[in-house]
Chain A
Amino acid sequence: QVQLVESGGSVVQPGRSLRLSCAASGFTFNRYAIHWVRQAPGKGLEWVAVIWDDATNKYYADSVKGRFTISRDNSENTVYLEINSLRVEDTAVYYCAREGYCSGGACYSSEHDPLDRWGQGTLVTVSS
């Protein structure tokens, strides 16, 4: 079955760096764009970044542009989120999610599709 598993979250000091991973299984990984979405404690969802299936395009939220880098390794079915110069306000659960949908026994992925499968999230806490 489709599975996305995030890892790499931890407690880190402000200004440090961290790399999160999102390991995928159960679907043809290199056909899907993958997003990162975060949620600060007690707050709503904030879209963070996306990387297209072939990594030709990457987009970021204004709040993280220049500090976050999204990448993927299609041979390892994994997406990464490199976070530099961590700030207290980066404290959140970070989710990865697949862009696509399934209907009538077939699955699809193209621009403007929803986030149909999510991982369980990994917690990043930035604190001195």
Chain B
Amino acid sequence: IQLTQSPSSLSASVGDRVTITCRASQGITSHLAWYQQRPGRAPKLLIYAASTLQGGVPSRFSGSGSGTDFTLTISSLQPEDFATYFCQQLSTYPYTFGQGTMLEIK
């Protein structure tokens, strides 16, 4: 299953609302997770089952979608949110990742 994220990169300002999309090449019901990765660090789980917020993750992060189309939304960007975001499908092995979306400060 291939995952296509868009955009590949995004410039935004603190306080902006941003949305990242992830499209699967076939249906994966809600078996999708989103991760954040800061430079030099391991990925961090943000959202699983497409829309469930991982414990300790700020509520400005939200996820939605099912089937083939998914979105990650950050309602009001904070300085610590500038990072790279990956989606991952957990429906069928191999558990593929999207190519990533780099979120940069405008």
Q: Which residues of chain A have a CB within 8 Å of any CB of chain B?
A: 35, 37, 44-47, 50, 59-62, 95, 97, 101-103, 112-116, 118-121
Q: Which residues of B contact A102 (CB under 8 A)?
A: 55
Since A50-B95, A114-B33, A116-B45 are in contact, a sample of 8 more A-B pairs with Cβ atoms closer than 8 Å, ordered by chain A residue number, is A35-B95, A44-B99, A47-B96, A101-B45, A101-B52, A112-B31, A112-B90, A115-B33
Does B97 contact A114, Cβ atoms closer than 8 Å?
Answer: no
Q: Which residues of B contact A120 (CB under 8 A)?
A: 42
Of the residues A59, A113, A118, contact of B93 by C-beta under 8 Å: A59
Of the residues A60, A114, A115, A119, contact of B94 by C-beta under 8 Å: A60
For window 77-99 of B, CB contacts with A under 8 Å fall at 86, 88, 90-91, 93-99
Does B55 contact A46, Cβ atoms closer than 8 Å?
Answer: no
Of the residues A61, A62, A112, A118, contact of B43 by C-beta under 8 Å: A118
Does A44 contact B48, Cβ atoms closer than 8 Å?
Answer: no
For window 49-101 of B, CB contacts with A under 8 Å fall at 49, 52, 54-55, 86, 88, 90-91, 93-100
B58 nearest CB across to chain A (Å): 17
Q: Which residues of A contact B90 (CB under 8 A)?
A: 112-114
Decide yes or no whether B44 CB sits under 8 A from chain A.
Answer: yes
- Can you identify 15 A-B contacts, CB atoms within 8 angstroms? A37-B43, A37-B97, A44-B100, A45-B86, A45-B97, A47-B95, A50-B93, A95-B43, A102-B55, A114-B54, A114-B88, A115-B45, A118-B42, A118-B43, A121-B42
Chain A residue with Cβ nearest B37: A45
Of the residues A61, A95, A103, contact of B42 by C-beta under 8 Å: A95
